[in-house]
Amino acid sequence: MKNESECCEPAAMPMPTIHTLLLEKALSLGATAAILLPVETLVVEERFAALCAAPHRCPSYGLAPGCPPHAMPPSSFREHLRRFQQMLAFKIDAPIALLLGVERPALTRTIHSIAAGVEQEAVRLGLVGTMGLAAGSCKELFCPQEEICVVLERSLPCPHAQLARPSISALGINFSALAEAAGWPFAKITAHSPAADQQAMGLMAGLVLLPASAN
Ligand code: SF4
């Protein structure tokens, strides 16, 4: 016979219901669109993580745990992906000019807050081990005035742990392949593209890796 505590444990929510709630959560936090995809859809390549170091070394290279060479190398990340079954990909649409302009850090912080918010909601719903991934270095986004990262240099907890998430590019994720799998076309436009091109819409994306079942 079950004791009182056993009989009062709530039944795990069906996965389709959890997925629907997480998609709604991403939209409520500011995502333009969100979609569920099999984790096997992700393409992880060393060459993308290598771009953090060369040919144009990122100013945040080596300054945060989510940035190379401290970030999980792509080969380890591919192994780590075996723990997950599905992923929730989300994006924010914005004009290219805005993505390349002074608004970029605020937009990127929103990607982190969506990834962290969906991750926390997934854990609350029983998906322990869920992993949110965002864009850009947390050093330049959350600690631009700090001389050091206290996680790296002093082994202290991250003061922005509720928001800051690892960068998808640092892990070697092929962003173009992800956008294509999600059905989100975008043009590759840089700061050197003609101004007319920069009026076009672009996108910024994040991910939440989801385990197969709720505990
Ligand atoms: S303290 Fe946290 S947010 Fe700041 S750089 Fe370190 S890990 Fe990133």
Residues 6 or more apart whose Cβ sits within 8 Å of residue 163:
109, 112, 113, 116, 142
- The H or E element containing residue 91 is strand 86-95
Pairing of β 33-38 and β 131-133: unpaired
> In the prediction, which pLDDT does 56 show?
84
pLDDT digits (tens, 9 = 90+) for 205-215: 999 999 998 87
Q: Which atom of ligand 1 is nearest to the CA of 63?
A: 5
Domain map (residue ranges) of the chain: 12-210
pTM: 0.89
pLDDT at 2 over 80: no
The span from the CA of 18 to the CA of 121, in Å, is 9
Q: Taking the CA atoms of the chain, what radius of gyration do you get in angstroms?
A: 18
Task: Place 8 in a pLDDT band, splitting at 50, 70 and 90.
Answer: low
From the list 160, 167, 168, 116, the residue with the least C-alpha distance to 142 is 160
Q: Helices 15-28 and 104-124 sit at what angle, rounded to 10 degrees? A: 150
Mutate to test the pocket of ligand 1, among 133, 149, 153 (most ligand atoms within 8 A of CB): 149
Give me ligand 1 centre to Cα 90, in Å: 23
Residue whose pair of structure tokens reads 């050093």 in the numeric block: 139
Q: Which of 108, 109, 150, 167 to mutate to test the pocket of ligand 1 (most atoms within 8 A of CB)?
A: 150
CA distance 73 to 130: 19
Rounded-to-integer distance, Cα 127 and Cα 124, Å: 7
33-38 and 86-95 beta bridge pairing = antiparallel
Nearest CA to ligand 1 atom 6: 149
pLDDT band at 97 (very low <50, low <70, confident <90, very high): confident
Residue of 63, 133, 138, 145 to test ligand 1 pocket, by largest number of atoms within 8 Å of CB: 138
CA distance 56 to 157: 30
For 149-163, what is the mean pLDDT? 96
**Average pLDDT of every residue of the chain:** 90
